C-alpha cells in the first residue's frame, strides 16, 4: 500500500543537517544536506518541503520534478537516471511505490528529528517486477552515505546496466575539484567550472586506478583548504566505478556515483538482488573539513588499528629478487638498531619467481632459494624484536607457473584468446570457487606455518577483458566481491593479521578495500618531491595512520633524483612511517640521522595518527605547510617545506591553522638530526637549547610567524604546545 502522507526526518550530527522526505508518490528526496539547521518541528519541515519545490517553467512537465536520491525518469527528470536496465527492452523506466520506511530499525512516523541515524525505505514496482531498498545514513562524524538494493521479482531475467545514487548541491557551488594521475604520480588535483551538462569520471581499470577521481568536490568558487563551502562524494568500491557532477538546464545540481557495470555483467534471475556500493558524501567549509569527516569515520570503525603503527622496513628496493639469507639477516640487524619494528619480505620468495616472468600464483616457499623454508629469516627477525611481513599477489598469475599449467581455465579471458599481458601476468578467476579455495588454502598454509603479522597484498595489472572463460561474461563485479571475501576469510582465520592494499603502488585506494585492509601503499614512487603532492591529496580521503609513507634511498629508484635525508624522512614523517632502502649502503652519519627521525616519529605518532589534518592555503606555490592538531587543541605539529624556488627570497608570515584562538602556545622548531643545509633562522627562532616564544593562538593563526629561509626541497618541523 502507498503511504497515506509524506514522511520526513531530520538527522543532525557534527555540524551537518540531513533533511529527507519520503513522499506519497516517488522515492526519497533530500531537502537539505549541509550546515546544521538547528532544531526543527514538523510544521517547519513541511514548509521547508514546500519551499524546496521548483515551479515548472515554460515547456517543462506540468508537475514539479522532485529529484530523488535515486533519480527517476518517469518524473520528467532528464538528467542521469538512477536505474538503467530492462527486461528484454521492457521495464526500463520503473515507477516505484514506497511501501514502508524505518529509522534505525523502527517504523518511521510522519516526523522525526534526532542525531545520527539510518533511514531504510522499501519500494516496489509490481508492473516492472522490481523491488527496491534504499538506505540513507548520517554518521556521528557528519558523513552521509547511501546505497540501494534492487531485486527482480518477475519470472524473466532483468539486466541491470547502471545503478547510481546522487545527492543535491545548491547552485552557489559551481567549482569542481577532483583528482587524476598516472602510475607514480597518483592523485593530481584538477579544477574546472561546472557548466550545464555532466562531468563524468569513469574508472574502467577493474581496480580503483591511478586516475581515479577519489573524492569529487563541488564548492563555491575559490574554495580552499580552510574556507569555502564544499560538498564531496566518494564511491566506496574497488572495481569499475563512476563519479559525476551534473547541472541540468533547469538549474538542479547533483553529485553522485556508483559501480560501473560492463555489458551483461549483472543479470538478475527471479529473486536475485544487486546491492550497490556505498556512496559517501562529506560537507564542510574548506577541504580540510571535508577530509576530517572521512578520517573520523574511518577512525570510528571497530576494526581501525588502535596500537601504535609499527615502523616498517620493506626490502624491495634493497634486494629486489635477490633473496640471500645472509644479506637479509644483515639488513634486519641494521633495521633493528635503527628502531624499526616490522620487517617485510617482498616479491621473490615463492615458486619459480626469480624475476617477474614466472612463478606468480604458486604460493609455496621456493626450495631453491629457501632450502630450510623461511624459518631462518623469520626466527632471526622476530629474535630482534620485530614483526615479520610477507608479500603476496593473490589475484594474479604468470602463465609460466604450476597453477596456470594445471588450471588454464582459471585465467580470466573473454573466450579462447587471452587478454593482452601486463607486467607479464594475467588475472585469476577468483569467482571460480575451486580457484578461490586453492588460493585461500595456499595462503593459509604459509600464514599458519610462519608467524606472519602483515601481508603486503599487491595487484599489479588492470583487469582488461576480464571475463569468465566458460560464458565470456564480464567478471569485474564478482571478482571484486571475491577479493573482499578472500581478505575477510584470511583475517578471520588469522586473528591480528594486518593487510596493506598495494596495487601497482596507490592504484586501489578507496573505502571499499579499506573495510578489509589496515593501510594503503600510497604510490610506488617514493621520490619525496613527488610524494608530497601524492600524500597531500591522498589525505583528502585517508587519515595519515593508514598511509604507507617510506623513506627512500638517496638516489630515487623511480625518478633518479637525489635528496637530502632530512627532506626524504620529513616527507615520510606524517604517515605510517617506513623505510625502502638498502641500509648496508648508508653511511654512519645517515644511519645516525635516520635513527633520530625514527625516534622523533615514535615520540609524536600518537598525535600524528589521531590529530586533525590541517593544510595551509599558501599564496606561493613553492611553499607547503601542513600539520596535525590534537582534537582538544592542546598541541600541534606542523611541517614547512620548500618545493621550489620562488621569485621572492622569503615566503612571508606563516599562519598556523587549527589552533584555539583563546589559548596561548609555545612554538618550538624541531630540527631532527640537525638543521637543513643553508637554513636561515628568523628573529623569533630560539637559539639551540632555548625555549621558543609563547603567543596567543589568535596571533599564530591570524598574524603568523616569519618563515625561515630554506633551500629548495628542504623541510622543517614546528611543534606547538598549549601552555598552562
The residues assigned a catalytic role are: 458, 524
β-partners of residue 264 are none
What DSSP state is assigned to residue 544? G
Is 459 annotated as belonging to a binding site? yes
Give the Cα separation of 212 and 464 in Å (integer): 16
Q: What is the 3-state secondary structure (H, E, C) of 125-155?
A: ECCCCEEEEEEEEECCCCCEEEEEEEEECCC
Give the Cα separation of 710 and 352 in Å (integer): 49
CB contact set of 361 (below 8 Å; sequence gap of 6+): 351, 396, 397, 398, 401, 402, 403, 404, 428, 439
Residue 233, C-alpha cell as written in the block:
562524494
Other beta carbons within 10 angstroms of residue 364's beta carbon come to 13
Decide if 150 contacts 268 (C-beta within 8 A).
Answer: yes
List of E strands, 453-584: 454-457, 498-501, 519-521, 547-552, 576-580
Question: At which residue does the C-alpha cell 610506488 appear?
Answer: 524
Question: At which residue does the C-alpha cell 527517476 appear?
Answer: 72
| Helical packing angle, 528-538 and 565-572, nearest 10° | 10
Decide if 64 contacts 53 (C-beta within 8 A).
Answer: yes
Give the Cα separation of 279 and 256 in Å (integer): 7
- Residue 538 phi/psi, 5-degree rounding, is -65, -35
Give the Cα separation of 667 and 659 in Å (integer): 12
Is 460 annotated as belonging to a binding site? yes
Q: Count how many Cα atoms sit within 13 Å of the Cα of residue 133 in the half-sphere of its side chain.
A: 12
Give the Cα separation of 175 and 172 in Å (integer): 9
Helical spans, DSSP H, in 523-638 = 528-538, 565-572, 588-608
Is 456 annotated as belonging to a binding site? yes
- Triad 93, 94, 99: Cα angle to 5°: 165
Decide if 238 contacts 480 (C-beta within 8 A).
Answer: yes
Give the Cα separation of 378 and 566 in Å (integer): 31
CB contact set of 248 (below 8 Å; sequence gap of 6+): 78, 79, 196
Decide if 345 contacts 328 (C-beta within 8 A).
Answer: yes
Q: Count how many Cα atoms sit within 13 Å of the Cα of residue 425 in the half-sphere of its side chain.
A: 27
Residue 498, C-alpha cell as written in the block:
594486518
Helix (H) or strand (E) segment spanning residue 490: helix 476-493
Among residues 473, 468, 453, 613, which one has the least CA distance to residue 543? 613
List of E strands, 204-252: 216-219, 229-236, 241-247
**In whole angstroms, what separates CA 476 from the centre of its chain?**
19
Give the Cα separation of 558 and 553 in Å (integer): 11
**In whole angstroms, what separates CA 34 from the centre of its chain?**
22
β-partners of residue 139 are none
Distances, alpha carbon 121 to alpha carbons 27, 95, 567, in Å? 8, 15, 52
216-219/229-236 β-pairing: antiparallel
Give the Cα separation of 162 and 154 in Å (integer): 19
- Triad 619, 620, 622: Cα angle to 5°: 150
Give the Cα separation of 545 and 534 in Å (integer): 15
Decide if 331 contacts 381 (C-beta within 8 A).
Answer: no
- List the binding residues for substrate: 183, 346-347, 423, 456-460, 502, 524
- List the binding residues: 183, 346-347, 423, 456-460, 502, 524
Amino acid at each position: 500500500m502507498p503511504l497515506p502522507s509524506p514522511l520526513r526526518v531530520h538527522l543532525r550530527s557534527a555540524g551537518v543537517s540531513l533533511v529527507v522526505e519520503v513522499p506519497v508518490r516517488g522515492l526519497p528526496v533530500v531537502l537539505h544536506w549541509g550546515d546544521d539547521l538547528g532544531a526543527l518541528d514538523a510544521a517547519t519541515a513541511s514548509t521547508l518541503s514546500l519551499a524546496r519545490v521548483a515551479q515548472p517553467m515554460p515547456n517543462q512537465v506540468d508537475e514539479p520534478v522532485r529529484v530523488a536520491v535515486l533519480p527517476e525518469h518517469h518524473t520528467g527528470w532528464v538528467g542521469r537516471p538512477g536505474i538503467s536496465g530492462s527486461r528484454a527492452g521492457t521495464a526500463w523506466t520503473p515507477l516505484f511505490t514506497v511501501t514502508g520506511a524505518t529509522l534505525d530499525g523502527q517504523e518511521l512516523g510522519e516526523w522525526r528529528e534526532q542525531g545520527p541515524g539510518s533511514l531504510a525505505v522499501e519500494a516496489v514496482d509490481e508492473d516492472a517486477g522490481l523491488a527496491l531498498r534504499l538506505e540513507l545514513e548520517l554518521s556521528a562524524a557528519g558523513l552521509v552515505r547511501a546505497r540501494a538494493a534492487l531485486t527482480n521479482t518477475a519470472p524473466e531475467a532483468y539486466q541491470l546496466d547502471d545503478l547510481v545514487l546522487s545527492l543535491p548541491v545548491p547552485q552557489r557551488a559551481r567549482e569542481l575539484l577532483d583528482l587524476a594521475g598516472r602510475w607514480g604520480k597518483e592523485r593530481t588535483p584538477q579544477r574546472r567550472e561546472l557548466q550545464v551538462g555532466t562531468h563524468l569520471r569513469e574508472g574502467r581499470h577493474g581496480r580503483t586506478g591511478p586516475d581515479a577521481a577519489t573524492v569529487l568536490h563541488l564548492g563555491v568558487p575559490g574554495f580552499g583548504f580552510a574556507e569555502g563551502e564544499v560538498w564531496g562524494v566518494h564511491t566506496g568500491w574497488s572495481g569499475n566505478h563512476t563519479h559525476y557532477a551534473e547541472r541540468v538546464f533547469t538549474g538542479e545540481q547533483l553529485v553522485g556515483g556508483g559501480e560501473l557495470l560492463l555489458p551483461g555483467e549483472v543479470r538478475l534471475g527471479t529473486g536475485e538482488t544487486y546491492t550497490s556500493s556505498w556512496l559517501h558524501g562529506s560537507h564542510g567549509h574548506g577541504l580540510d573539513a571535508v577530509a576530517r569527516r572521512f578520517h573520523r569515520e574511518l577512525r570510528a570503525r571497530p576494526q581501525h588499528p588502535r596500537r601504535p603503527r609499527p615502523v616498517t622496513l620493506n626490502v624491495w628496493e634493497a634486494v629486489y629478487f635477490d633473496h640471500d639469507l645472509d644479506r637479509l639477516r644483515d639488513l634486519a640487524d641494521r633495521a633493528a638498531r635503527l628502531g624499526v619494528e616490522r620487517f617485510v619480505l617482498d616479491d621473490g620468495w615463492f615458486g619459480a619467481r626469480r624475476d617477474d616472468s614466472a612463478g606468480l600464483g604458486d604460493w609455496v616457499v621456493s626450495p631453491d632459494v629457501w632450502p630450510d623454508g623461511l624459518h631462518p629469516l623469520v626466527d632471526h627477525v622476530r629474535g630482534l624484536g620485530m614483526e615479520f611481513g610477507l608479500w603476496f599477489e593473490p589475484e594474479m598469475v604468470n602463465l609460466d607457473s604450476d597453477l596456470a599449467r594445471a588450471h588454464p581455465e582459471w585465467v580470466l579471458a573473454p573466450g579462447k584468446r587471452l587478454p593482452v599481458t601486463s607486467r607479464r601476468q594475467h588475472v585469476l578467476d577468483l569467482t571460480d570457487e575451486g580457484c578461490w579455495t586453492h588460493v585461500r588454502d595456499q595462503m593459509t598454509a604459509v600464514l599458519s606455518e610462519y608467524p606472519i603479522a602483515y601481508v603486503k597484498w599487491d595487484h599489479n595489472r588492470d583487469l582488461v577483458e576480464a571475463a569468465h572463460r566458460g560464458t565470456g561474461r564480464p567478471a569485474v563485479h564478482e571478482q571484486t566481491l571475491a577479493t573482499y571475501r578472500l581478505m575477510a576469510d584470511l583475517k578471520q582465520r588469522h586473528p591480528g593479521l594486518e593487510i596493506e592494499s598495494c596495487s601497482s603502488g596507490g592504484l586501489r585506494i578507496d573505502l571499499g578495500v579499506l573495510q578489509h585492509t589496515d593501510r594503503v601503499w600510497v604510490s610506488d614512487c617514493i621520490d619525496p618531491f613527488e610524494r608530497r603532492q601524492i600524500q597531500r591529496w591522498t589525505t583528502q580521503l585517508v587519515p595519515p595512520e593508514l598511509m604507507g609513507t617510506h623513506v627512500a634511498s638517496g638516489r630515487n629508484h623511480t625518478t633518479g633524483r637525489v635528496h637530502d635525508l632530512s627532506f626524504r624522512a620529513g616527507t615520510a614523517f606524517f604517515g605510517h612511517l617506513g623505510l625502502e632502502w638498502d641500509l648496508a649502503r648508508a653511511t654512519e652519519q645517515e644511519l645516525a640521522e635516520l635513527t633520530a627521525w625514527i625516534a622523533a616519529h615514535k615520540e609524536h605518532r600518537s598525535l600524528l595518527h589521531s590529530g586533525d589534518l590541517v593544510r595551509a592555503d599558501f599564496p606561493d606555490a613553492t611553499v607547503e605547510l601542513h600539520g596535525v592538531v590534537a582534537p582538544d587543541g592542546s598541541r600541534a605539529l606542523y611541517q614547512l617545506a620548500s618545493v621550489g624556488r620562488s621569485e621572492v627570497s622569503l615566503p612571508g608570515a606563516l599562519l598556523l591553522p587549527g589552533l584555539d584562538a583563546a589559548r596561548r602556545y609555545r612554538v618550538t622548531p624541531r630540527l631532527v638530526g640537525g638543521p637543513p643545509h643553508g637554513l636561515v633562522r628568523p628573529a623569533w627562532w630560539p637559539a639551540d637549547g632555548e625555549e621558543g616564544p609563547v603567543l596567543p593562538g589568535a596571533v599564530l593563526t591570524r598574524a603568523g610567524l616569519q618563515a625561515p629561509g630554506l633551500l629548495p626541497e628542504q623541510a622543517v618541523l614546528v611543534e606547538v604546545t598549549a601552555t598552562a
